[in-house]
Amino acid sequence: MSVGVRAMEIAAGNSNTFTTQAGDNVLVVGIAANPSAGGNITGVTFNGIALTEVVEIGGGAQADRKVWIGYLVAPDIGAFTLVASGTGIDSWTSQVALFVSAGFLEAGQPRDTDAIEDNSNDTLNVSLTPTVAGDLCFYMGYKGGVQASWSGATAETSGVSGSKGAYEIATTTSENASYGVAGDNSIAVCGAAFKAGRSAGRVSGAIG
């Protein structure tokens, strides 16, 4: 079984309205921000319900770029606000929302994560080990001062101030995607491989 994706959207800032539809079983989210040294994203909510964080990087050696990925199983259906909160965040860049419609195994997520940052580089690569064809590989990238692009992913969002989200459905047990463009600017990227499968015991519709 493969994870099914209905849509992926991007919006600027840290508080935006996204609309889930009937059949959207999981909401996967990417966040990009500009932190001070040591700054952190402390929470992300959709309609007041907290997402589970899976990976975050930035605010350390590369202090002025940060990316974050999390997810929410069985999100409320309708138009609701996605809000990111943090400490030591100088400004918020973007939010990416990916709507999963089928094939997402609820237990034991994620299967794998990867994250890297650099204060001066053209491109950075995210390497994930899905292990099962059909897994969802979701990526978030942010490069300061210039709009970059994802290579190796199936689909990417439009760009917002140097940031983009992207995804692919795994076809092998090793997936790689690169984010960047010529120019040695500060950059941070992260990715997560989410398990495909069929969950049991769901009260309000099986995930997959």
Looking at residue 1, its pLDDT comes to 78
Q: Which of 27, 165, 173 lies closest to 104 in space, CA to CA?
A: 27
Question: With 70 as the cut, is the pLDDT of residue 204 above it?
Answer: no
Give the tens place of pLDDT for each residue, 28-46.
999 999 998 889 999 999 9
CA pair distance 65, 44, nearest whole angstrom:
18
What is the residue type of 158?
Answer: S
State phi, psi for 197 to the nearest 5 degrees. Answer: 165, -165
Q: Average of pLDDT values for 90-97?
A: 97
Q: Which of 58, 48, 8, 1 lies closest to 28 in space, CA to CA?
A: 8
115-to-79, 107, 192 alpha-carbon distances in Å: 31, 22, 9
Question: With 80 as the cut, is the pLDDT of residue 142 above it?
Answer: yes
State phi, psi for 205 to the nearest 5 degrees. Answer: 105, 130
